[in-house]
Structure 1
Amino acid sequence: MSLARTIKNIRQVGLKQWFRDMTYIGDAKAGRLVGQDAMGNKYYENLNPHDEVPGRGRWIEYSQDDFNASQATPEWHSWLHGIRHLPPTEDPIVQQSRPPWLASYKENLTGTRAAYKPYSTTPPKLQAWDPVARPRGQEAKP
């Protein structure tokens, strides 16, 4: 990242937003807000190809401080990676109503307290030894 690009981005987005971008994504970015998803994430696009490295002109600003990539919905994920040309807010295919059988999107919760943990209903094949202690002073019965 050049000094001229950094100064240009600070002028466009302001010092506070520039510092937040450097803290969270490690790069100074400036672009237009394309849309926001149901989880509160904001999606941006830089329309000037000379300002960015190829393939880095679209990015996401997560709504949570503790973020991971699974928080981007599939529609926005395809736009971020260049699979779709139009963002979901402008794409007529995505704008069609969702089928009623399609579940709402949830992020991957693996590694968190809310992760799915299966419960086994089958009894174990081997039973653990459960020792029973006799009270002292009693003889063993033959």
Structure 2
Amino acid sequence: MVNSLWFKWKSLRLPWRKSRLVGQDLSGNTFWEFKDALNAGRWRRIVKFHPKTHYSDVKVSPQWHQWLRYVRETPPSVAEQQQDIVRQVQMKELARLADERWASKPSFLDQPKAQQSNPTIDAASQNQSNIAHDSAANVSKVENMPSAPAARTRSAEPTPKKEENPWLKADARGPGEAWQPESWSPKSQR
């Protein structure tokens, strides 16, 4: 009761008053306008936070932020602020439902047999272990292969062409790692 009377008194535009209360948000922050001493014709806008609120916990709603930055001319009403809270709750619920729909669909990144069965396995680590296993198998196949003439004498029927692993042919070092600059020898200028 006393607070509401005080707010009404402070919000009156009286000629001798240097600052006036414009409104209050749902968190208890008050918003004020005052005449700037340097620019007498301009009203400045500020917010005074609730005294029991820590500075890191202060949140100013977008409507009041727009009013503070002169984007909107009129301050938001209490009904508008409450309507925005309802809109935010509805948006969070819709986002939760969308996340549930997304999680229920199988992912193209999962393996066909293990879709959504074990979400703790990281797909990237699974893929890397498969590549390492395949390259190790290809190395053992290459080492155990007989030479080309011996392979021709063993069977008369054509052998299917085997896929070659391009990573086995690659040099362990890059092409520029073996390069060394030539020593510099100055030439005489005669």
TM-score by length of 1: 0.40
Pick the structure with greater CA Rg: 2
Normalized per residue, the structure richer in helix is 2
Instruction: Specify which structure has the bigger relative contact order, considering alpha-carbon pairs within 8 angstroms and separated by 6 or more residues.
Output: 1
TM-score by length of 2: 0.31
